Amino acid sequence: MKLPESDAFGAYHPVTLFFYFAGLILITIFTVNPLMLSIALLGAVSYCVYIEKGRNLKDDLLFYIPMFILVSVTNPLFSHNGVTPLFFMNGNPVTLEAIYYGVNIALLLAAVAFWCRAYSKTVTEDKFLFLFSKTLPKTALVISMAIKFIPILKRQAKRISSAQKAMGLYSSKSYVDKLRSAVRVFSALVTWSLENAVDTARSMRARGYGLKGRKSFSLFKFSVRDGVMTAVCAVIFTVILFGFRSGAVHFAFYPSMSRIPLTPGAVIVYVSYGAAAFLPFISEIKESLKWKYYISKI
């Protein structure tokens, strides 16, 4: 029997999910410690690969690997800080510290990008509207439409391109025909998206969206389970922030690169950060094992 696609972590209340992703992404952005960034990247990649079942992994690697190399190589060309010069380029030193710092920046960008991807897969447009439709109705609607339209536009572009090929338009392999086809697809896609956006706006206005006193139906109920998860995340984030404030995980690249702290306080922060980073992945694995156990009892 095939197991159903699990969405154990995404089943939590939108408030809990938003608090988790916002807290973790903000902590990751302000993290310089390479060990913590490595943990963040592994946690995000594990969760994304699991919930997407490895789909689009090849396309992701074709984007992230060149970006990683580009950022790593670019930084030492513009930043010449550090006390360990490796060689000179146009009279400027290329230092070991600048290279390591470039790799660290690339690691940070990749970790944040994967966590934003995990956020978009988990906090869907209906959850985002539930969170901000009362406080920021117009902004929430625009952002929700943007999040929803990105995959829709990709599918619509493929349909338009396939329709043109079926009509015999731009069927040759010349670069001129490919350019004409791309321009025609883009023009049709822009027209379709504008019409769709206008229809959505009129539909929401007809339903009284954003009016004061308007009530909307929602299936999201904040349960004890959600409260426990929110409290756990709050405790973990507090421990991590306290570790930052106390300097337990402080790491510096300039003027000389320091060693990764391994004090008892730093280990506690690492473990807490790892627990936070792998929390969605562990939730999915736990749910999958639970399903397998129940099926084995049938």
Closest by CA to 27, choosing from 101, 112, 106, 107, is: 112
List, for residues 69-92, the tens digit of each pLDDT value. 887 778 777 777 777 787 777 777
Report the alpha-carbon distance of residue 62 to residue 68 in Å, rounded. 10
Q: What are phi and psi of 5, to 5 degrees?
A: -65, 120
Cα distances (Å, whole numbers) of residue 271 to 230, 244, 259, 289:
18, 14, 18, 24
User: What sign does the dihedral 150-156-160-165 (CA atoms) show?
Assistant: positive
Residue 123 is classified by DSSP as: S
The domains of the chain are located at: 9-128+218-296, 136-206
Q: What is the largest CA-CA distance in the chain?
A: 73
Cα distances (Å, whole numbers) of residue 74 to 67, 71, 101, 111, 113:
10, 5, 11, 19, 19
DSSP 33-102: -HHHHHHHHHHHHHHHHHHHTTTTHHHHHHHHHHHHHHHHHHHHHH---SS-EEEEETTEEEEHHHHHHH
**pLDDT class of 278 with cuts at 50, 70, 90:** very high
Report the alpha-carbon distance of residue 283 to residue 38 in Å, rounded. 20
Can you give the pLDDT at residue 72? Answer: 79
Which residues is 94 bridged to in the sheet?
Answer: 87
Q: Which residue has the higher pLDDT, 104 or 67?
A: 104
**pLDDT class of 3 with cuts at 50, 70, 90:** very low
Q: Which amino acid is at 80?
A: H
Q: What is the mean pLDDT of residues 40-65?
A: 80
Can you give the pLDDT at residue 214? Answer: 62
Closest by CA to 14, choosing from 172, 218, 251, 189, is: 218
**pLDDT class of 172 with cuts at 50, 70, 90:** low
